[in-house]
Structure 1
Amino acid sequence: MRRKFRVALLATVATLVAGAASAQDLIAKDRVGPADAPKTLSFRLTGDGPGNTLPDIAEGYQKLFVDFIQKHPGWQIKLERMSDNIGQEQARMLEQTKSGTGPDCAAVDSFVLALFMNAGVLKPLNEYFTQAEIDDLFPFVREGITGKDGKIYAWWWDTDLRVLYRNKDIVADAPQTWDELKAAAIASKDKGMEGVLVNGGRWEGTTFDWLANFWAQGGKLVDDSGKPIFAEGENREKFLKAVNYFKDLVDSGAAPKRIATIVNYDEFNAAAAAGSTALFIGGNWQLAQLKSTLEPEEFAKWTFSAIPGPTKDQRSTGTGGWTIGAFSSDPEKVAMCAGIAKEIYSGAGNALQQQLPTSKALFDKYDVFKSDANKAFAAALVDGQARPGVPIYPEISNQIQVMMGDVLTGAKTPEAALDAANAAVQAAYARL
């Protein structure tokens, strides 16, 4: 009996070792699945995956991808990592998919999804999701992924919002208005800080974070037909008011001049870790990053609140997020792509990265979203506004980025910069 027990024990250990070894063999820097798998799917992704810069997040995704590929024997997923220049990467991918040289499956940023849908390069995914699952999506999410024919052409798996982070030891009370934020930022400088940090460089984050100030006033970028109207009538007044607000932050010293070069949210985390700022406007996902970056006693000093508006009653925040879309004409590859969206990202990926779900049911399913912080983020989504899902939006964003650089560096007045941006956008709209 003892010998049989030892043999059984050794067999079990051998099986476990073999299983661990095979799991290791199933993932590499640019591959998930056996190297000699007969079927391959190319998947272009962001840092939300096995190559994440945070070790615990990377390990979590590695497990999710390995678990997924083990359920699909004979398949290999070729991983194609995008750079951090999201706007450029998405534009390049659109051109590739139009010419038939793009990936089989990819992460598509929600703000350019309309361009891909308009180009007719995405495959419908309705058969892989129940109507109940589609109906449970937040309205702005469901609207964003639905084409004119009523079919869904991507799965929007996470959403986010922007908030004002602050070090409570430096800024005790949450600023409620633009004037209060400016005063708090200037006061923080007297304590050795550099003022409030915001995105101001040439990238999508600059446009999206700033738009909250335009939207809070009721401003509209486009009309119901998708025509750009941000430089007309009341919209022009609201637009200039929001631009002048950011200009005044720099001119007054409430924000450092270097914000005109900030093109990555990681800079805010670094500044918080270095103790050089007490205020920054960032994404909800950064709370978890701060927790993993800062010492517990330092993290305890940080909290967040709604982005201040021109008045206490005028508030808005941008709601973004990523989608997964299929470009392949091979039905099997489309099914695999939908599986990645559903089994890796939607739900499990949300919980892993604490990226807010797009479905009400998932908020109740995962304990991590029952925390006070995530409940507050979920509640803040009521003031959320998604970027308009129209083909001209990327060019509007591009011109806002150019405009912001010109204004923050003093190269142009807000009025001249707005006129130049509008002229470029109108010309692009005429070409659509």
Structure 2
Amino acid sequence: MLSRIGTIAVAAAFAASPLWIVGQAAALELNVFVPAAYSPSSGFIPGADVFKKLYAEFQKQNPDITLNYEVLDPGPAGLQKLLTVAASNGLPDVTIVDGQWIARLVQSNVLQPLDAVWPESDRADFHPAVIEAETIDGKPFGIMFQTGMRGLVYRPSMLASAGLTEFPATFDAFMAAGKTLKDKGISAEMVPAKANEEPSTMHMLSIFWGLGGKLVDEKGAPVFFEGDNGKYLADVYQMYRDMAAAGVMPASVTTMDENGLKPFFYGGETLAIGFSSSGVKQMWSEMPDLANDLAVAPYPMPEGEKPVTILGGFAYALTAKDPERAAAGWKFIQFMTSPKNMGEVNEVLGALPVRNSIWKDNTFFATNPMMQSYKRMYDGEMQTRPAVPIYNTISSAISAQLAGVISGQVKPVDAVAAARDAVMPEYERQKGR
């Protein structure tokens, strides 16, 4: 059942129903699905406030549209919900999607192309890799509004106390430093390694791609287990096993997601954690002393290799097919993804921009040292996760092997084979659709 409120209200009013209505009754009700973190229902108060303000501004500028929003799970359950409601003609008019869902949703005829309404001049303000990630068969199906780059977040003060002047760039140097830290009761690194968790795979992919690995071929067929690709994936698994065996990384990371690592970092039990830039501002809020004592480093790599930064994020997408509803939906998407509004959301949430103009014109992103560190990663080699339907299955299969590898119960080469065996039946099923 829908709840109706006249204006953006206090948080208690939002807690009354899973679907909120913002604005006065109007001729057209625009239904939007959004993850809580990108809505007035955000648990991060500054984030909730900025979305309340923007939704109210949109409503004021468009009194002929009533904006309804429903909270959508940001993970696999959200993707499944969209597929389910599509089958029963219950789609919203606009939805926020993980960029990795786009291929699957386009395959299921859930999303509408934006090529006819999104001007080329506006697309030119985005990093080319962003446009590529959202484009299928030459047509864009979403507008990414943020990205979260992953690396190793650490405290320079703790690094100095360990006798290091800079974060180790090579894996051998990192292992040597890790053994020194172990003698002091501190782990060198904790990265999420929980099974079937996308961030677990994402931290691995930067290393895998840096070694030269490929997940799929040009036709979207899985090849991560073949030839050099299989060797590179086994090498990444071996690096994880070596860290755990040497006590440089605790084996307990196989039970943790990114947020689960923070207490160990805050307590000084680990030098670095694998973390997303999108959570940095909340870390500053939770521990204000980190504002001047936080840095990010790329993953240490074998000699001569460099990790590849993963570009990914959430995007606004149009699902309405009715022309009138589609026009209203596009108006909302344009409003939320304008440079001004997108920049404000990025700054408040600490999410990295994907518009070049925001990096240049927004004071926070142009001058903050931590953000400039991410900008250097943004300007370097980046790669998007393949926009193919089989990707989610590949990701889950790869992360599902981490517990066995880290504990030493599964050999890296066997983990690669097991991941292959988990993926290929689903790939054959998808081909048969």
Q: TM class by shorter-chain length?
A: 0.7 to 0.9
Q: Check 1:25–1:270 CA distance in 2 against 1; reply closer, same or farther (3 A cut).
A: closer
Answer whether contact 1:213 1:310 (CA < 8 A) is retained. no
Q: Which residue of 2 aligns with 1:375?
A: 372
Query: Which one is further off, 200-209 or 23-32?
Result: 23-32
Answer whether contact 1:170 1:191 (CA < 8 A) is retained. no
Q: Check 1:307–1:377 CA distance in 2 against 1; reply closer, same or farther (3 A cut).
A: same
Aligned partner of 2:55 among 42, 53, 65: 65
Q: Which amino acid aligns with 1:178?
A: F
Q: Which residue of 2 aligns with 1:221?
A: 215
Distance of 1:31 and 1:40 partners within structure 2: 12
Answer whether contact 1:162 1:307 (CA < 8 A) is retained. no
Q: Which amino acid aligns with 1:77?
A: L
Answer whether contact 2:34 2:71 (CA < 8 A) is retained. yes
Q: Deviations over 1:16-56 (max 9, x none)?
A: xxxxx955489834424236445322222221221222212
Q: Deviations over 1:185-237 (max 9, x none)?
A: 34333334344111111211111111111111111111111111111111111
- Map 1:353-368; keep pairs closer than 5 Å: 353-368=349-364
Distance of 1:409 and 1:83 partners within structure 2: 31
Answer whether contact 2:98 2:315 (CA < 8 A) is retained. yes
Distance of 2:9 and 2:261 partners within structure 1: 35
Q: Which residue of 2 aligns with 1:82?
A: 72
Q: Check 1:430–1:133 CA distance in 2 against 1; reply closer, same or farther (3 A cut).
A: same
Aligned partner of 1:104 among 93, 100, 104: 93
Aligned partner of 1:277 among 270, 274, 281: 270
- Map 1:105-184; keep pairs closer than 5 Å: 105-148=94-137, 150-172=138-160, 173-184=166-177
Answer whether contact 2:47 2:345 (CA < 8 A) is retained. no
Q: Which amino acid aligns with 2:34?
A: L
Aligned partner of 1:307 among 283, 299, 306: 299
Aligned partner of 1:392 among 390, 393, 403: 390
Q: TM-score, normalised by structure 2?
A: 0.87
Q: Which residue of 2 aligns with 1:414?
A: 412
Give unmatched runs, 5+ long, in structure 1.
1-20
Percent of aligned pairs with the same amino acid: 25
Q: Deviations over 1:116-143 (max 9, x none)?
A: 1222211122344221111332122111
Q: Which residue of 2 aligns with 1:337?
A: 329
Distance of 1:25 and 1:182 partners within structure 2: 50
Q: Which residue of 2 aligns with 1:348?
A: 344
Q: Which amino acid aligns with 1:233?
A: G
Q: Check 1:284–1:252 CA distance in 2 against 1; reply closer, same or farther (3 A cut).
A: same
Q: Which residue of 2 aligns with 1:427?
A: 425
- Local SS of the residue matching 1:323: strand
1:28 and 2:14 correspond: yes
- Local SS of the residue matching 2:32: strand
Answer whether contact 2:318 2:326 (CA < 8 A) is retained. yes
Q: Check 1:250–1:99 CA distance in 2 against 1; reply closer, same or farther (3 A cut).
A: farther
Answer whether contact 1:33 1:75 (CA < 8 A) is retained. no
Distance of 1:347 and 1:118 partners within structure 2: 31
Q: Which amino acid aligns with 2:362?
A: Y
Answer whether contact 2:152 2:275 (CA < 8 A) is retained. yes
Aligned-pair CA distance for 1:101: 2.6
Q: Which residue of 2 aligns with 1:12?
A: none
- Local SS of the residue matching 1:325: strand
Aligned partner of 1:188 among 156, 166, 181: 181
Distance of 2:313 and 2:428 partners within structure 1: 29
Answer whether contact 1:157 1:341 (CA < 8 A) is retained. no
Answer whether contact 1:178 1:311 (CA < 8 A) is retained. yes
Aligned-pair CA distance for 1:393: 0.9
Q: Which residue of 2 aligns with 1:4?
A: none
Answer whether contact 1:193 1:278 (CA < 8 A) is retained. yes
- Local SS of the residue matching 1:159: coil
Q: TM-score, normalised by structure 1?
A: 0.87
Query: Which one is further off, 222-231 or 29-38?
Result: 29-38
- Local SS of the residue matching 2:159: coil
Answer whether contact 1:307 1:317 (CA < 8 A) is retained. no
Distance of 1:22 and 1:236 partners within structure 2: 55
Q: Check 1:134–1:251 CA distance in 2 against 1; reply closer, same or farther (3 A cut).
A: same
Distance of 2:8 and 2:316 partners within structure 1: 25
Distance of 1:190 and 1:35 partners within structure 2: 63
Q: Deviations over 1:101-124 (max 9, x none)?
A: 333321111122111122221112
Matched residue count = 408
Q: Which amino acid aligns with 1:183?
A: A
Aligned partner of 1:248 among 239, 242, 245: 242
Q: Which residue of 1 aligns with 2:3?
A: none
Answer whether contact 1:40 1:78 (CA < 8 A) is retained. yes
Aligned partner of 1:401 among 385, 399, 402: 399
Aligned partner of 1:290 among 283, 286, 300: 283
Distance of 1:67 and 1:88 partners within structure 2: 30
Instruction: State the Cα RMSD in Å.
Output: 2.4
Q: Check 1:54–1:312 CA distance in 2 against 1; reply closer, same or farther (3 A cut).
A: farther
Answer whether contact 2:211 2:305 (CA < 8 A) is retained. no
Distance of 2:396 and 2:252 partners within structure 1: 20
Distance of 1:186 and 1:332 partners within structure 2: 63
Aligned-pair CA distance for 1:352: 2.5
Distance of 1:239 and 1:258 partners within structure 2: 21
Q: Check 1:81–1:230 CA distance in 2 against 1; reply closer, same or farther (3 A cut).
A: same
Q: Which residue of 2 aligns with 1:3?
A: none
Q: Check 1:188–1:103 CA distance in 2 against 1; reply closer, same or farther (3 A cut).
A: farther
